């Protein structure tokens, strides 16, 4: 574990593809030591990781090509806090219902997601979501070619749903995922929520 009590948590943002710069900016504004991650050796120094939005199939191919996929899977299994947004949520899902041929995920979240959940005619939209864990006011959520969670297994907490019941935010142990993009709205509560998970793990006493 990289961090120490009182130190700024070192949080990586997977920077192979997608909107990683926005996440780095938000995390730094909240006091984290936020760094881009592109090489396997950078993973061991992290207290937490964000997987940004982008194109999940491209992110999958690049993570394997750069040798990141297996170390990331190991880190997730060992309890590294990870937050995935949009494509990042897909990367954390155990099952992708409409994966392209050969597409893989890092896994860890016992959920099933659908990549192209809203169809080409509704690629992007915005709505307000009531999320009790984050308090008031409602979270203004921006969906950009977003996935949706179609099934969850035991141990998964549903944090947010659309009016029609479709699940768009979940957490399970060290993993957090949203189908939308909190990094673009100026509302930092999801990042704060994630950083608290990171800090809680950093300060836990060793066994």
Q: Which residues are catalytic?
A: 86, 181, 183
Dmax over CA atoms of the chain, in Å, equals: 52
Helices within 34-162 (DSSP H only): 56-65, 69-77, 87-92
Q: What Rg value do the Cα atoms of the chain yield, rounded?
A: 16
Q: If DSSP codes are grouped into helix, strand and coil, which group holds residue 29?
A: helix
3-state helix, strand, coil in the chain (%, to 5): 30, 30, 40
State both tokens at 20.
């990683």
């Amino acid at each position: 574990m990289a961090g120490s009590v009182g130190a700024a948590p070192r949080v990586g943002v997977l920077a192979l593809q997608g909107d990683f710069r926005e996440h780095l900016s938000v995390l730094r504004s909240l006091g984290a030591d936020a760094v881009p991650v592109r090489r396997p050796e950078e993973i061991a120094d992290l207290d937490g990781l964000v997987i940004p939005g982008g194109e999940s199939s491209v992110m999958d191919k690049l993570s394997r090509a750069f040798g990141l996929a297996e170390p990331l899977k190991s880190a997730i299994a060992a309890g590294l806090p990870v937050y995935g947004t949009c494509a990042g949520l897909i990367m954390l899902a155990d099952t992708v219902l409409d994966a392209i041929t050969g597409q893989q995920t890092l896994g860890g979240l016992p959920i099933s997601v659908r990549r192209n959940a809203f169809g080409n005619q509704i690629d992007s939209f915005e709505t307000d979501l009531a999320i009790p864990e984050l308090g008031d006011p409602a979270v203004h959520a921006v969906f950009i070619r977003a996935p949706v969670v179609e099934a969850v297994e035991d141990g998964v907490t549903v944090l947010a749903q659309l009016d029609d019941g479709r699940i768009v935010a979940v957490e399970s142990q060290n993993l957090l995922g949203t189908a939308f993009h909190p990094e673009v709205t100026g509302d930092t509560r999801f990042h704060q929520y994630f950083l608290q998970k990171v800090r809680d793990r950093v300060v836990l006493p060793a066994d």
